A = this chain, B = another copy of it.
Amino acid sequence: MEVKDKVIGVLGGMGPAAGVDLVSKLIDQTDARTDHEHLPVALLNYPERIIDRSTFLFGETDLNPALAMADILRQLESVGATVAGIPCNTAHAPAILDVIQEELDRTGHSIRIIHMIEETAMFMREHMPQVETVGTLSTLAVYDLGLHRKPLEAAGFDVVVPEARIKEELVNRTIFDTEFGLKAQTNPVTDKAKHNLVTAIDHLVERGADAVVLGCTELPLAPMVEERSDVLLVDPAEILARALIRETYPEALRPLARHYAAHVPSTP
């Protein structure tokens, strides 16, 4: 029996459902028809150890979640992980991610983080040649830092974001609200959460978006993809899953199931 000794690590817990979702996507993106053809995956979902990323980035605490995250990455390495994905867009802020990397380097650990946001811009550049303008949905912290905007612009896209009120009330709040938000309820997602996100996507389309990046790992948990055909919805977690497989077992990578043709409105 072939030994698959490289483990794919998932640093989860931010939120827990996003960790599960990434493992699910790793399974979906693997070309396998029996248990044994599937890839070794370790998921550590330790939500209470990791301070909320936005709370830290907005200066409401001095505790950088990077230290706990580096610790969990070392645990992933201890069970065999050679690469890891972090299913949390906000955690990719340099103030967090750079500190994680320094902490891993300092302690002599070589587990390699695959950068979800950079992978997303590269994937879109490769597979969505017709897209010109990209809208993004994310936490306020990610908007403020331009975490998606910068790599998308570097890849040659125009980037549009929602107006301030929509960013705050329809996007950020739909992620965090403890009554109707996605971190509170994903099974099922509340109607209010779905409605808010659909409204925010409409708004981005009005601003010219041909594609919208669901740039918070909670967002793809809301079943919006089936609900519209006028804009391409891009899921960074799915792209990250494919990148993690490519970096470990490229021969097991499933052919792209979706055709990423852009839904560019025909010009008159």
Contact = CB atoms under 8 A, between A and B. Distances in A.
Interface in A14-42: 14-17, 19-20, 23-24, 27-28, 32-42
A14 B28 contact: no
A79 interface: yes
A206 interface: no
Contacts of A179: 33
A164 interface: no
Nearest to A50: B35
A35 B16 contact: yes
A184 B28 contact: no
Contacts of A37: 47-48
A35 B176 CA distance: 9
A17 B4 CA distance: 18
A3 B79 contact: no
Contacts of A154: none
A202 B41 CA distance: 37
A130 B140 CA distance: 52
Which of A50, A184, A185 has the most chain B CB atoms inside 10 A of its CB? A184
A135 B79 CA distance: 39
Interface in A68-84: 75, 78-79
B184 A48 contact: no
Given A34-B178, A35-B183, A178-B34, A46 B7 contact: yes
A222 interface: no
Contact of A35 (B1, B38, B52): B52
Given A33-B184, A37-B47, A41-B43, 17 more contacts: A2-B48, A3-B48, A16-B23, A16-B27, A17-B27, A19-B23, A20-B23, A20-B24, A23-B45, A33-B178, A35-B50, A40-B47, A41-B45, A42-B42, A42-B43, A43-B43, A44-B79
